[in-house]
């Protein structure tokens, strides 16, 4: 099985930057995509950025142009570079892995523990 370990969260002033890291270990050959999600208390978890094994990426409109998702294949790690942070970016950020199965129509997901990002005004 795959394990996801996150780091890099913290407190930053508006306009500042953070870089989140997610290290994947275990049966990493089954991963088809990795992503970052955010969740505010009382709200549903939302997709922030996603990257597939072939390098395709997509972003939520609210972070496009400010956040960058990237992958280091040698380290089995993805990053979320967050620039020009805003108070509304404050949330718990989770690493997500999409895992393949024997069926092309089915997959399952794994989650990291989450890391708190707080942006002060």
Cβ pair 120, 14 in contact under 8 A:
yes
Q: What percent of the chain has pLDDT over 90?
A: 88
- Tracing tokens 């992958």 back to the chain, one arrives at 71
The overall average pLDDT reported for the chain is 95
Report how far residue 41's alpha carbon sits from residue 2's, in angstroms, rounded to the nearest whole number. 27
Confidence tier at 1 by pLDDT (50, 70, 90): confident
Least Cα distance to 74 among 15, 23, 38, 33 occurs for 23
- The dihedrals phi and psi of 65, each to the nearest 5 degrees, come to 90, -15
């Amino acid at each position: 099985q795959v394990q996801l370990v996150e780091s890099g969260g913290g407190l930053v002033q508006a306009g500042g930057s953070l870089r989140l890291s997610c290290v994947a270990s275990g049966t990493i050959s089954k991963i088809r995509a990795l992503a970052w999600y955010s969740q505010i208390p009382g709200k549903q978890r939302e997709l922030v950025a996603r990257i597939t094994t072939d390098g395709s990426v997509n972003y939520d409109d609210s972070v496009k142009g400010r956040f960058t998702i990237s992958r280091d294949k040698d380290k089995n790690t993805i990053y979320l570079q967050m620039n020009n942070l805003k108070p509304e970016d404050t949330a718990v950020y989770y690493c997500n892995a999409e895992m393949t199965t024997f069926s092309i129509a089915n997959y399952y997901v794994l989650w990291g523990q989450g890391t708190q990002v707080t942006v002060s005004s």
